[in-house]
Each structure stands twice: as structure tokens, then as C-alpha cells.
């Protein structure tokens, strides 16, 4: 968009310079100044649109996870909260082990072509794995537990429209209450987008 604006600006300047007589330099200068001001206003309006789309990246290969937000090109996932829930507590009413629960928002890019439906659960499960590195012999991937927040029961599998956002939650059974949980974001092909540790104490 910036290239188009600059292209229009240079074209206007070039055409303006070709059509002006030598004695009309000051009027050309003032009209150029007016065009620059107008273009500057357009650029400011455009940059505010860019801020609303800063939740997404241009291509899938640019996806990143910083510990709070997984930014993708079709959808992004923002972790809004997390906590450890003991057995018998609300959110882990019937569990026998403590769980780590994550609350998150799934945002779908307004430009997404809707070729494959996106739901909060699908987006999370396709991109995240939780590990407690407490076994010297194997990678200890944690098992998904029951939904830790009943208010998301209806929406956890709901299809999100392009430009829409739905909140949900997910929980994993802990294998101990000392080792931090490493949450890793990756593609289905195994491309690593980043990881973050979450204390469980």
C-alpha cells in the first residue's frame, strides 16, 4: 500500500513538473505540499488499519509464538490467563491429578478464505503441545484434560468467521507439581514457532 501511495506521489510530481511553466514554480510547490499533506493523511489512516491486522503475519512461514501470542497468517491464538487447578476444585471437579489450564482467544484473519473451518479447539490442538521435562528417558507430553471452564462448552468447537474471535480454554494433566510446563507452538509439519515455560508451583 505504501508503494502505491509513493508511486502516485512521484507520478503526480513528475506530471506536475512537466506541465508547469517556469514562472509558476511557487504554485507547483504549494500544490505539491498539499498533495504530500493529503498523502500523509492517507498513510496515517492506512497505518491504523495495519495496527488492527498486527495480530497476524503475512505468510505461514513467518508465524511466531512469544509465550503469550501465536501469530499466524490465517488465525492467531492469544493466551489470556493460565493457572494450576487441584483435583476437586472448580475446573477440575472430577480429575484425579492437578491440571494446568490455559484461557485463550482465537482470532481469524479478516482476509481468511474460510477454506477450512477454524474452531478454538482445532486451532489449539493443531498448534500446541505441552511438555513437563521430568523424565530422563522420554519426552513427557501431557494429556489433555476435561474443559476447565464450563462457560466455553458451547463455543469450544464453534466455527469462527473471518474477522471473528472466540474465547475458550484447555487443560493438561500434570505429572508432577514442581516441573514447569513447556508450551511449544509448531506447525503440523513440525516447524517450531517458539515455546515458553509456565511455572506450576
* pLDDT(178) > 60: yes
**Range with the poorest average pLDDT among 41-50, 75-84, 143-152, 164-173:** 41-50
pLDDT score at 53:
54
* pLDDT(41) > 90: no
What mean pLDDT, rounded, does the chain reach?
81
Q: Specify the long-range contacts of residues 46-49, CB closer than 8 Å, at least 24 apart.
A: 46/1, 46/2, 46/5
Backbone phi and psi for residue 53, each to the nearest 5 degrees, phi listed first: -95, 5
pLDDT band for position 112 (50/70/90)? very high
Average pLDDT over residues 73-89: 98
**Domain ranges, ordered by start, for the chain:** 2-52, 60-198
Q: What is the percent of the chain where pLDDT is above 70? A: 74
Backbone phi and psi for residue 165, each to the nearest 5 degrees, phi listed first: -145, 135
Residue 86 DSSP code? -
pTM: 0.73
145 near 91, Cβ under 8 Å?
A: no
pLDDT, tens digit, 9 for 90 and up, residues 139-154: 999 999 999 999 999 9
Measured distance CA(121)–CA(104) in Å, rounded: 10
72 near 124, Cβ under 8 Å?
A: no
**Range with the poorest average pLDDT among 12-26, 50-64, 69-83, 108-122:** 12-26
CATH placement of domain 60-198: 2.60.40.1240
Average pLDDT over residues 173-191: 96
Average pLDDT over residues 102-129: 97
Helix (H) or strand (E) holding 173: strand 165-173
pLDDT score at 17:
34
pLDDT score at 96:
96
107 near 75, Cβ under 8 Å?
A: yes
Average pLDDT over residues 13-34: 39
Average pLDDT over residues 60-88: 97
pLDDT score at 65:
98
Amino acid at each position: 500500500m505504501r508503494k502505491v501511495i509513493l508511486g502516485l506521489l512521484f507520478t503526480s510530481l513528475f506530471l506536475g513538473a512537466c506541465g508547469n511553466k517556469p514562472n509558476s514554480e511557487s504554485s507547483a510547490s504549494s500544490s505539491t505540499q498539499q498533495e504530500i499533506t493529503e498523502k500523509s493523511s492517507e498513510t496515517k489512516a492506512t497505518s491504523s488499519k495495519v495496527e488492527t491486522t498486527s495480530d497476524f503475519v503475512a505468510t505461514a512461514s513467518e508465524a511466531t509464538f512469544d509465550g503469550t501470542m501465536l501469530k499466524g497468517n490465517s488465525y492467531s491464538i492469544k493466551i489470556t490467563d493460565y493457572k494450576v487447578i487441584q483435583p476437586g476444585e472448580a475446573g477440575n471437579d472430577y480429575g484425579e491429578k492437578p491440571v494446568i489450564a490455559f484461557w485463550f482467544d482465537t482470532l481469524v484473519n479478516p482476509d481468511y478464505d474460510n477454506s477450512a473451518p477454524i474452531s478454538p479447539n482445532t486451532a489449539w490442538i493443531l498448534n500446541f503441545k505441552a511438555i513437563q521435562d521430568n523424565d530422563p528417558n522420554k519426552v513427557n507430553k501431557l494429556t489433555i484434560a476435561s474443559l476447565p471452564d464450563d462457560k466455553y462448552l458451547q463455543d469450544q468447537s464453534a466455527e469462527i468467521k473471518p474477522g471473528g474471535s472466540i474465547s475458550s480454554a484447555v487443560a493438561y494433566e500434570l505429572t508432577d507439581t514442581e516441573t514447569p510446563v513447556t508450551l511449544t507452538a509448531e506447525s503440523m509439519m513440525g516447524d517450531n514457532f517458539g515455546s515458553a515455560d509456565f511455572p506450576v508451583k
